[in-house]
Amino acid sequence: MSQGSVSFKDVTVDFTQEEWQQLDSAQKALYRDVMLENYCHFVSVGFHMTKPDMIRKLEQGKELWTTGRIFPSRSYLGNN
């Protein structure tokens, strides 16, 4: 069986603003912890990418939502 490359987008969950607002604080904290851990794993194995705004916001404890989706179409999310 052949294994392909994994992108950061492959290990993320993209919530709509409505979905995000329905999460309780424990669920948001779990999301933050998992996304930060995933990002750290990618960096630790040499995956080179610009730090996504979502990761910066999570690190700073800021709310993810302004408008649109958490992950707008960006080239760094699709790169393998």
Q: Specify the pTM.
A: 0.70
Give the 3-state secondary structure of residue 49.
coil
pLDDT category at 70 given cuts 50, 70, 90 is low
Q: Are 64 and 54 in contact (CB under 8 A)?
A: yes
Give the 3-state secondary structure of residue 68.
coil
Tens-digit pLDDT profile for residues 22-64: 999 999 999 999 999 999 998 898 888 888 888 898 899 887 7
